[in-house]
């Protein structure tokens, strides 16, 4: 097709996850799809990159309008090999990462491999959307995520030329039936942090081990402009993401101290 | 000692690295040290956490005023096990991460395990400093990094009570002789991104593989208020780091689009 769109799809749950398949099928409604996802589950891999090991790229499946590859690296490695190797010289219209099994609202944006890959995609000046469902179940129901994902992709593609770059959206969908979703809310990242409780046990060889588990501490549960508030009230939250980590207020406070 | 300070040390190059030993020794000048570093090199691990595997903590070495442990997880896992298990109920005065072999200026702050661990420490309301030397050599000369690290730690401990929290500093030291360093510059994160060149070869079994390599593209090489400018002119750069990733400008631009 003339002027057919080219869409890059990736995720952090690996190429075999149900959410990834849902995203590939959603993307195919909008153009030709090249999907490169991790070989194995890479949840919580953040913006991690693989420096000290070789990486292997493997063709998994292809059809008339899509190609799926598995890559042995992190989600960000997937974005990097896509843009700095596979797509070299080709115009890409959109990056879609997910659909993630689990919310990436609030500070989760920093730990999320899904959002790591989306952010990396936006560095190449391509609009990027990370899409996550607030449900960790391997067999989660993605109907609402697909329905609202479709609305958001349509709106972003329509407006892409007049929106500033980089453009990277962290989209989170509540866990409920599609028809129970209240709509879309532009939000900001909720303040708050995870406090962990290390599950501590002994392995069959007598060695003690730890297993990470914890709970998110919301520092502003009543703030209606936050992504956690939106999710708790069955809205789809959309937080645009930027990557200047400079703390400008602290910069002023430090003047004279250093 | 009464009112003795307690200092947590970690890094991403692993407990055997030269820079880590330099940091432990620097920290011992300021108080009692508990150091928990990764078992293996974890460069480029960003804010990654280990969700799907058990983790092992091992005592490596101890003296009158310090304890060193190796942990099988990521740098952020090290901070989490320190604050949510080892230190429970104890007041910690400072988090020191590094000394990293390699610069974490500009967008490297997002890929860096050293800064991931420092940021995580600052989530516990403890002043945190990530210290990095712009030299990847395993046997790098840390004299200048230690000298300026000492100045910055002294200043932060003196001012800790009157500085806003969270307080997290990304400190980078140029690769030159200590006496050639021009001083300290408060800076902002340089805009720019990495473009990769995938080194592509074939393994002994005939499988093609990729190896990540690339170069940082500085989008504003002449901006004198940036960390890259400071390093290039032999200054120690200090960038305070915040973790609200919300793009507020984009939030306004999206109004009416979504």
Separation CA B150–CA B58 (nearest Å) = 29
CB contact, 8 Å: B254 with chain A? yes
CB contact, 8 Å: A210 with chain B? yes
CB contact, 8 Å: A89 with chain B? no
CB-CB neighbors (< 8 A) of A110 in chain B: 47, 119, 243, 245
Separation CA B126–CA A191 (nearest Å) = 17
CB distance B116 to B37 below 8 Å: no
Ordered structural domains, chain B, with CATH: 6-191+222-254 (3.40.1210.10)
pLDDT in tens, B74-107: 999 999 999 999 999 899 999 999 999 999 999 9
Per-residue pLDDT band at B15 (split at 50, 70, 90): very high
Mark yes or no for CB contact A207/B155 under 8 Å.
no
ipTM of the complex: 0.95
Per-residue pLDDT band at B197 (split at 50, 70, 90): confident
Mark yes or no for CB contact B249/A110 under 8 Å.
no
- Given A84, A113, A238, which is nearest B258 (Cβ)? A238
DSSP state of B105: -
Separation CA A238–CA A216 (nearest Å) = 19
CB contact, 8 Å: A202 with chain B? no
pLDDT for A89 equals 84
CB contact, 8 Å: A177 with chain B? no
CB contact, 8 Å: B192 with chain A? no
How much is the mean pLDDT over chain B? Answer: 96
DSSP state of A55: B
Mark yes or no for CB contact B56/A109 under 8 Å.
no
CB-CB neighbors (< 8 A) of B73 in chain A: 212
| Residue B125: partners with Cβ closer than 8 Å, 6 or more residues away | B165, B166
Distance to chain B for A1, nearest Cα, Å: 28
Nearest of B122, B108, B103, B226 to residue B168 by alpha carbon: B122
- Tell me what the mean pLDDT of segment A155-170 comes to: 97
Strand B6-10 with B199-202, pairing: unpaired
CB-CB neighbors (< 8 A) of B197 in chain A: 84
CB contact, 8 Å: A180 with chain B? no
Q: Tell me phi and psi for residue B122, to 5 degrees.
A: -70, -20
pLDDT for A2 equals 54
Nearest of B39, B46, B38, B124 to residue B87 by alpha carbon: B124
- Tell me what the mean pLDDT of segment A15-27 comes to: 98
Mark yes or no for CB contact B198/A258 under 8 Å.
no
CB-CB neighbors (< 8 A) of A208 in chain B: 56-57
- Given B44, B84, B257, which is nearest A155 (Cβ)? B257
Separation CA B174–CA B232 (nearest Å) = 7
CB contact, 8 Å: B25 with chain A? no
Q: Chain B: residue nearest A165 by CA?
A: B250
CB distance B140 to B98 below 8 Å: no
Distance to chain A for B40, nearest Cα, Å: 11
Nearest of A248, A251, A247, A231 to residue A239 by alpha carbon: A231
Q: For the purposes of burial, counting CB atoms within 10 Å of the CB of B217, is it exposed (0-12), middle (13-18) or buried (19 or more)? A: middle
Residue A1 has pLDDT above 60, yes or no: no
Distance to chain B for A4, nearest Cα, Å: 23
Distance to chain A for B249, nearest Cα, Å: 9
Q: What is the pTM of this model?
A: 0.96
Residue B2 has pLDDT above 80, yes or no: no
Per-residue pLDDT band at A255 (split at 50, 70, 90): very high
pLDDT in tens, A109-160: 999 999 999 999 999 999 999 999 999 999 999 999 999 999 999 999 999 9
Q: Tell me phi and psi for residue A197, to 5 degrees.
A: -125, 110
Per-residue pLDDT band at B1 (split at 50, 70, 90): low
Mark yes or no for CB contact A255/B186 under 8 Å.
yes
Strand B6-10 with B32-38, pairing: parallel
Strand order in the sheet with A128-133: A57-62, A66-71, A32-38, A6-10, A94-101, A128-133, A168-173, A236-240, A184-186
DSSP A185-249: EE-BPPPEEEEE--EEEE-TTS-EEEE--EEEEES-TT-TTBHHHHHHTTPEEEEEB----B-HH
Report how many Cβ contacts below 8 Å link chain A to chain B.
225
Question: CA A87 from chain center: how many Å?
Answer: 20
**β strands within chain B, DSSP E:** 6-10, 32-38, 57-62, 66-71, 94-101, 128-133, 168-173, 184-186, 192-196, 199-202, 208-211, 214-218, 236-240
Q: Tell me phi and psi for residue A245, to 5 degrees.
A: -85, 0
């Amino acid at each position: 097709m003339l002027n057919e769109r080219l869409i890059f799809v990736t995720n952090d749950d690996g190429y075999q996850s149900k959410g990834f398949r849902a995203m590939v099928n959603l993307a195919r409604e909008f153009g030709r799809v090249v999907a490169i996802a991790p070989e194995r589950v890479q949840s919580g891999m953040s913006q991690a990159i693989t420096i000290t090991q070789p990486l292997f790229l493997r063709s998994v499946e292809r059809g008339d309008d899509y190609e799926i590859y598995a890559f042995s690296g992190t989600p960000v490695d997937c974005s990097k090999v896509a843009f700095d190797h596979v797509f070299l010289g080709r115009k890409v219209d959109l990056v879609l990462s997910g659909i993630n099994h689990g919310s990436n609202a609030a500070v989760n944006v920093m730990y999320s491999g899904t959002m790591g890959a989306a952010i990396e995609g936006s560095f190449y000046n391509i609009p990027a959307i990370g899409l996550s469902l607030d449900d960790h179940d391997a067999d989660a129901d993605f109907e609402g995520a697909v329905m609202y994902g479709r609305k958001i992709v349509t709106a972003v593609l329509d407006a892409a030329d007049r929106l500033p770059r980089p453009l990277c959206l962290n989209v989170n969908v509540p866990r409920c039936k599609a028809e129970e979703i209240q709509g879309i809310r532009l939000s900001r990242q909720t303040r708050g942090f995870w406090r962990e409780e290390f599950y501590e046990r002994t392995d069959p060889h007598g060695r003690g081990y730890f297993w990470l588990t914890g709970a998110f501490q919301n520092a502003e549960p009543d703030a209606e402009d936050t992504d956690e508030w939106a999710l708790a009230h069955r809205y789809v939250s959309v937080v645009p993401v930027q990557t200047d980590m400079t703390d400008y207020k602290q910069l002023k406070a430090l003047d004279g101290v250093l």
